[in-house]
Structure 1
Amino acid sequence: MPFPFARIYHLFLLLSAIGIILLARLFYLQIFISDDLAALGLLGRVQEVKMVSLRGDILARNGEKLTNSIEQYNLTIFPGKYYQKEGQVEELSKILSRDSEELKREIKSIVKPKVIAENLSEDIIKKINQLGLDGFIISKAKVRYGENIANHIVGYINKSDNKGVSGIEYLYDDILKVADEEYVAALIDARSELIPGLSYKKLHLPEPYGNNDVRLTIDYGIQKKVEEILDENKVHKAAVVVMNPKTGEILSMVSRPNFMPGKIEDYFSAEDSPLLNRAVSSYQPGSVFKLVVAAAALEKDIVKPKEVFNDDGFIDVDGIIFRGWDEKSGKRKLTFEEAIAYSSNPVLIQVGLKLGFENLKLFAQKFGFGNRTDLNFPNETLGNLPTNDQYHRGELANFSIGQGKCEVTPLQMACFTSAIANDGSIPSPKLVIEINNRHGDSIKMIKTKESKKIFSSKTAKILKDMMLGVTSYGTGQAAYVKEGGSAGKTGSAETGKVNEKGQSINHAWFVGFAPFDEPEYTVVVFVEDGMSGGNIAAPLFRQIIESIEKAEVT
């Protein structure tokens, strides 16, 4: 039988062709690996570890990053390429300050690429590189939450699916969500073994939508300074809102205690509720609500600023005794504007009883209380107003001094106080200016809603003058700002709790604005269990206004 040279020749050509095709394929994967291949399922044939989830940024009003502001370097192991050399793990454990046996067990258990050390310093990176480890690489990653600022505004994401859970992260999740991810990958074969001759590759997985930035109204400098003031004064549980009274733009919104968004699991069971945004939570307002009573009474024309009242130190309402808050209250005559300045409980209860439950409740609703604001911020509460079936004269007396069933949020108080500063027009609170694409181009401007007239210019002028009396000679002198003047109202709301000395524990409030003639800033300070609005909240207001004015000068 003749030797089958032809068949051998053809077989040789076939095998050569197959080899050339395979080599060409490997060359293509090595050189031209692209987004298209990744999107079509290349990751099913790689060992990969996510470097960056390029979720959109949350920006302050002048473009400062509130997210993704920091990069770090991590140590990642690829099991398919890992080859242990004698003594290397021991050396690595020393560099990482870890127990060598524990590190060996972790490495042995790894079946997929895994980050085993984060936020490496330059010195540690240099030492690791000198080891020449097989299967280890230094990979760069962006830290979603770097600088610890505006956390209750920004919110946080779920690490497992990268979706927003609270704050702007939740409210604008569809805008911010990941549209581009970066991976470091090593190609493997069907047996999950590394394909020889191929190095690590950086892959991108683009999506057709998302990954846009959200630019806020928050002034980075003001936000940072307010947070510093609260922390320097060791204020534990509190909220501050700084607002432009004309536009409703929120320049700062702070809640304490703070939390670290990257370690959210540490706070779920904390007794002091760090995850609670106190700026949009409901509390009894105490005497700051007397401004609401005053506005309603002035609008109904049942009281005049110079009208004189008797302050006997207490008032009996159907057998329930309501006392003045200080030792000076008692057997004195006060004009209505003086009653606001000195925060007289007996006088405001007299006015509230004259105004009536229905009128007071209707005006409170008109002024924005008992409903969420237009901001619709996650977990924002409605506050609370007494219902008709709860009405009796004693409840109306409580209602008139911001106690009992009456609850408001600091944000609601900021809007109402802004109406006083803004000639009787209440602004709609605004937190977002625009949406930008990944190149920084604006793709959607968020319109500012028109302010709504809730009381007359005449009433606004009277209230402004009354609030100036509070800071000039009344309970809020600690809030007076010499440069430009300031006006406001103190509040101390009873909680029903007592401290170890048997003293009543009160929430402390101060609401106000500055400068007096042309108000630019409304500031609401709330300190939970802060005892006294005049002694605790008012000085914080002054510090905040003075820090803003100082920053403007410099």
Structure 2
Amino acid sequence: MRERQLSAAEKRRMFIILIIILIVFIGIVSKLFWIQVAASENYSSRGVNLVKNSVLQRQKALVLDSGRGEILDRHMQPLTGGTIKALVAFPISKSIKVDRRQIDQLAHILRTSSEAWLAFSSNMKDPGVWGTSGGGKPVALCKQQEEQINGLQLPNVKVVEIEDRYPIGMIARQLIGFIGQNPDRVMQEYSAELERGKLSLTSKIGGSGLEKTFDFWLRGVGETSISYFTDATKKPLPGLDARMIAPDNVFYPLKLVTTLDLTVQQQIELLMDKLQIREGAVVVQDAAQGDIVAMASRPNFDPLQVNLSNNNWSNFALKATAPGSIFKTVVAAAALDEKVVDLKETFNCEGALGKYGFTCWRRDGHGPLTLEEGYAQSCNIVFANVMQRLTSAQLESYAHKLGVLDEVGWSGKTDAKELLRQLDSEDNGQLFAAHTPHDDEGVLMQTAIGQRDVMMTPLQASNMIVTLLHDGNRFSPRVVQEIRYQTDRVMEAFPVKKLDDGKKGVSAATSRKLLSWMQEVVTDGTGQALKGAKWKLAGKSGTAQLKYGKQEKVNQWFVGYGPVQSPKYAVSVVIKNTDPIESNKAIPLFKGIMDILAESLNRRQ
């Protein structure tokens, strides 16, 4: 039987089908080649890295160290934490059985229950550090615990070194600040790094304080992480189980060397807590060049669990508030330099001015007082009378000369930044509110005693004292003096700076006179409780009255310097929003701080 021969038409159809099959096959192969080889690192319009993502599907990574730079005090002591040994657990397949006796042993070593450990480790989707559930801190392990855990040879746990950036008991928290995720700021400020893959939208960046203002330097060159490789069923891949990945750079992370003194800062914060300061701030400056030696704020906060709606993370040392009678220093400076008062003339205080409802804190009055005596006794009536001889423009001029209306913290150009402000979110001061009539007599009298609209920061207050100690020359206080590589070679230095706006400051004669008047505040005036201090001290007290609806509160202030014979430090303290009947804590706090500084100086000599 003969086979039927294919017609010419059928042969053509068969040939076309074969050609189509061949074209489809070539297309599929080409596509696979493109995906797997040519475009494996940049597939689709979204730029998906297929190699990287195929690895990520079976790689579980945990960051052990952010790679951020260290923040140190002036003696190179760490202010941010070092490293601790901690236990990392990895998610593994439930088909991998772990001996219950080993779990019990591990729980015993960790000083916990087996149930607590199983609750932590059983349903893990990503690697986790023991102790961090619910936002807690990693549990630090001792050498013995490390050895005992390693001896168990469990397949899903590993003891590693992990960064403890914000340790328990950490000081200067508001000044140092915190790090956290902020995708909007990452896109706005770090778009170039984001594009190059050096940052992701979930990268942690400085959120406040020095962590924020020096974030450019502190970010470092990469994280240290531990990666754990598993197959699709979460079984560890042979030879690829746990692997450390870390940047190899001897120069990083950088060191941020501050002007703070760790021991002094620590003791001041302990004193604030001992005196139960609920809300307030302290600033200590080196009298020689205005460097910030200590800066503390209350209430405190946990930098690992920041609630932005709660203001406890804000640095009150940089926030303007009503100054009360410490502002009389500005009025006295204006009166002396403008020569509107004869130093021998007296002003009679009968407890009330007789208009505007203006009164003195001493209801029965002080009697006749000179300006010098009025300053020591903080007499409101004396300063109301003096203010009648000054204009609002003159008062504003001297407020600027003493730096109480301006941002005073160190700012300037660096190699890396056009403008660096070392201090985060520093407030300006204020003399008059936007719609306050500047030349109204009643307004000026309230302004003269640091009430009405007047606002000042604790840093401005202490820097005002530094200005007087330098015959009216203003400094721009540093809190960071240099940035060093890990090798200790200096990368960037921030020199001592004066605030030079080209205008004449308060005269040297007036500066010295006000400093001597501050001594009388302690010997004969409102600061006599300071007589028992280790040093002979000088300063000015202030009590600012505040109203919140029908509720009345007061700010308690004291600013000054010591020792009188050879000034070493300028200090300002404010205790905010206290009840009017509460005892004064500003003077005991100021005295305690000066005693701490005296002891610190004696130890170093």
TM-score (norm 2): 0.77
The 3 A distance-change label for structure 1 pair 185 and 255 is same
Gaps of 5+ in 1: 1-38
How many residues get paired?
506
1:350 maps to which of 385, 393, 407: 385
Alignment correspondent of 1:114:
128
User: Please, what is the CA RMSD of the aligned residues?
Assistant: 3.0
Instruction: State the distance in 2 between where 1:106 and 1:149 align.
Output: 31
State the Cα distance separating 1:388 from its structure 2 match. 7.8
Residue-by-residue CA offset, 1:465-521 (whole Å, 9 max, x unaligned)? 11111011100112346555211000000012599xx9x531100010011132110
Secondary structure, counterpart of 1:180 in structure 2: coil
Which amino acid in the other structure matches residue 57 of structure 1? E
Which stretch of structure 1 is more off in the superposition, 162-171 or 135-144?
135-144
Is 1:173 the equivalent of 2:215? Answer: yes
State the Cα distance separating 1:152 from its structure 2 match. 1.1
Instruction: State the distance in 2 between where 1:42 and 1:139 align.
Output: 26
State the Cα distance separating 1:260 from its structure 2 match. 2.1
Is 1:76 the equivalent of 2:102? Answer: no
Is 1:475 the equivalent of 2:510? Answer: no
Alignment correspondent of 2:586:
537
Which stretch of structure 1 is more off in the superposition, 280-289 or 242-251?
242-251
Which stretch of structure 1 is more off in the superposition, 64-73 or 183-192?
183-192
Identity level (%): 29
Alignment correspondent of 1:413:
461
The 3 A distance-change label for structure 1 pair 139 and 389 is closer
1:289 maps to which of 302, 311, 327: 327
Mapping 1:68-467, distance limit 5 Å: 68-79=81-92, 83-87=96-100, 88-89=102-103, 92=106, 104=118, 107-117=121-131, 118-122=138-142, 124-125=145-146, 128-146=149-167, 147-158=169-180, 161-188=203-230, 193-198=235-240, 200-205=242-247, 211-264=253-306, 267-270=307-310, 273-317=311-355, 320-330=356-366, 332-375=367-410, 376=421, 377-386=423-432, 389-391=435-437, 392-450=440-498, 452=500, 454-467=505-518
Which amino acid in the other structure matches residue 302 of structure 2? M
Mapping 1:24-35, distance limit 5 Å: none
The 3 A distance-change label for structure 1 pair 226 and 550 is same
Secondary structure, counterpart of 1:314 in structure 2: coil
Whether the 8 Å contact between 1:247 and 1:451 is mirrored in structure 2 is no
Secondary structure, counterpart of 2:358 in structure 1: strand
Whether the 8 Å contact between 1:82 and 1:136 is mirrored in structure 2 is no
Which stretch of structure 1 is more off in the superposition, 544-553 or 158-167?
158-167
The 3 A distance-change label for structure 1 pair 360 and 534 is farther
State the Cα distance separating 1:537 from its structure 2 match. 1.0
Residue-by-residue CA offset, 1:345-390 (whole Å, 9 max, x unaligned)? 0110111121122211222133223332243422221122215852
Residue-by-residue CA offset, 1:269-315 (whole Å, 9 max, x unaligned)? 44xx3212110111111000000100011111111333211112111
State the Cα distance separating 1:65 from its structure 2 match. 0.3
Secondary structure, counterpart of 2:223 in structure 1: strand
Instruction: State the distance in 1 between where 2:124 and 2:433 align.
Output: 61
Whether the 8 Å contact between 2:84 and 2:140 is mirrored in structure 1 is no
State the Cα distance separating 1:64 from its structure 2 match. 0.6
The 3 A distance-change label for structure 1 pair 387 and 359 is farther
State the Cα distance separating 1:189 from its structure 2 match. 5.7
Mapping 1:519-530, distance limit 5 Å: 519-530=567-578
Whether the 8 Å contact between 1:306 and 1:335 is mirrored in structure 2 is yes
Whether the 8 Å contact between 1:249 and 1:431 is mirrored in structure 2 is yes
Which amino acid in the other structure matches residue 77 of structure 1? F
2:75 maps to which of 59, 62, 72: 62
Whether the 8 Å contact between 1:80 and 1:188 is mirrored in structure 2 is no
Is 1:51 the equivalent of 2:64? Answer: yes
Whether the 8 Å contact between 1:145 and 1:261 is mirrored in structure 2 is yes
Whether the 8 Å contact between 1:384 and 1:407 is mirrored in structure 2 is yes
Whether the 8 Å contact between 1:484 and 1:517 is mirrored in structure 2 is no
Which amino acid in the other structure matches residue 73 of structure 2? A
Whether the 8 Å contact between 2:93 and 2:233 is mirrored in structure 1 is no
State the Cα distance separating 1:211 from its structure 2 match. 3.0
Which amino acid in the other structure matches residue 325 of structure 1? W
Which amino acid in the other structure matches residue 339 of structure 2? D
Instruction: State the distance in 1 between where 2:95 and 2:573 align.
Output: 57
Which stretch of structure 1 is more off in the superposition, 179-188 or 218-227?
179-188
Whether the 8 Å contact between 2:376 and 2:521 is mirrored in structure 1 is yes
Whether the 8 Å contact between 1:410 and 1:525 is mirrored in structure 2 is yes
Whether the 8 Å contact between 1:480 and 1:542 is mirrored in structure 2 is no
Whether the 8 Å contact between 2:61 and 2:225 is mirrored in structure 1 is yes
Gaps of 5+ in 2: 1-50, 132-137, 182-201, 411-420
Whether the 8 Å contact between 1:74 and 1:141 is mirrored in structure 2 is no
Which amino acid in the other structure matches residue 340 of structure 2? I
Instruction: State the distance in 1 between where 2:229 and 2:547 align.
Output: 66
Residue-by-residue CA offset, 1:224-251 (whole Å, 9 max, x unaligned)? 1211111111111110000123311000
Which stretch of structure 1 is more off in the superposition, 80-89 or 176-185?
80-89
Is 1:551 the equivalent of 2:600? Answer: yes
Whether the 8 Å contact between 1:509 and 1:532 is mirrored in structure 2 is no
Mapping 1:503-518, distance limit 5 Å: 504-518=552-566
The 3 A distance-change label for structure 1 pair 532 and 553 is farther
Residue-by-residue CA offset, 1:303-349 (whole Å, 9 max, x unaligned)? 133321111211134xx12111024525x111110000000001101
Whether the 8 Å contact between 1:217 and 1:250 is mirrored in structure 2 is yes
The 3 A distance-change label for structure 1 pair 313 and 351 is same
Whether the 8 Å contact between 1:508 and 1:533 is mirrored in structure 2 is no
Residue-by-residue CA offset, 1:86-118 (whole Å, 9 max, x unaligned)? 425465556556675675465443233332443
Alignment correspondent of 1:18:
none
Whether the 8 Å contact between 1:174 and 1:210 is mirrored in structure 2 is no
The 3 A distance-change label for structure 1 pair 546 and 120 is closer
Instruction: State the distance in 2 between where 1:99 and 1:89 align.
Output: 9
Which amino acid in the other structure matches residue 274 of structure 1? N
The 3 A distance-change label for structure 1 pair 139 and 478 is same
Secondary structure, counterpart of 2:577 in structure 1: coil
Instruction: State the distance in 2 between where 1:478 and 1:239 align.
Output: 20
Which amino acid in the other structure matches residue 489 of structure 1? K
Whether the 8 Å contact between 1:175 and 1:210 is mirrored in structure 2 is no
Whether the 8 Å contact between 2:85 and 2:159 is mirrored in structure 1 is no
Instruction: State the distance in 1 between where 2:528 and 2:116 align.
Output: 62
Instruction: State the distance in 2 between where 1:248 and 1:355 align.
Output: 30
Instruction: State the distance in 2 between where 1:113 and 1:534 align.
Output: 53
The 3 A distance-change label for structure 1 pair 81 and 184 is farther
